């Protein structure tokens, strides 16, 4: 599974949310830097070529839907990011967020509780 561009990820998040959508439905969900209809259509067709999206045809109109689950993409994306930026170390990942004050001690305790319950 390949990494998507930022715009492709944005479109995928919309499709995951809507479950099924025509290009005009996706366009209506984009609030900032709205692309031209044809540009968006090309992005969605590229997602289809990459195997992330499929469609049902209704005459000349296509209704698109995701074939890759958000959880599947998230897992792949996170594993790659952890490998590339944290030397495959989850400890380094958590330390990074703690140093950046993006995670609190209370949240860390909750994570520890989750880990303990899994054992």
Q: Give me the mean pLDDT over the 28-51 stretch.
A: 94
The Cα–Cα gap between 107 and 113 comes to 10
Q: What is the enclosing helix (H) or strand (E) of 57? A: strand 53-58
pLDDT the model gives residue 81: 86
Please state the pTM of the whole predicted model: 0.78
pLDDT the model gives residue 7: 93
Q: Give me the mean pLDDT over the 58-82 stretch.
A: 92
pLDDT the model gives residue 77: 86
CATH 1.10.760.10 is the classification of domain 6-66: no
Domain locations in the chain as residue ranges: 6-66, 70-118
Percent of the chain residues past pLDDT 70, beyond the cut = 100
pLDDT the model gives residue 66: 97
71 confidence band (pLDDT: 50, 70, 90): very high
Q: How far is CA 3 from CA 19, 47, 114, in A?
A: 21, 11, 30
Residue 1 pLDDT exceeds 80: no
Bridge partners (DSSP) listed for residue 55 = 64
Q: Give me the mean pLDDT over the 32-60 stretch.
A: 95
Helix, coil or strand: residue 62: strand
pLDDT the model gives residue 102: 84
């Amino acid at each position: 599974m390949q990494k998507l561009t930022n715009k492709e990820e944005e479109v995928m998040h919309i499709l995951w949310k809507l479950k099924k959508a025509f290009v005009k439905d996706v366009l209506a969900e984009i609030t900032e830097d709205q692309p031209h209809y044809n540009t968006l259509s090309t992005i969605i067709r590229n997602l289809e070529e990459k195997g992330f999206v499929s469609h049902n045809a209704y005459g000349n109109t296509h209704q698109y839907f995701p074939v890759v689950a958000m959880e599947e993409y998230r897992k792949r994306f996170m594993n790659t990011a952890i490998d590339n930026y944290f030397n495959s170390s989850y400890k380094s990942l958590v330390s990074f967020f703690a140093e950046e004050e993006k995670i609190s001690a209370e949240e860390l305790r909750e994570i520890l509780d989750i880990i303990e319950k899994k054992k």
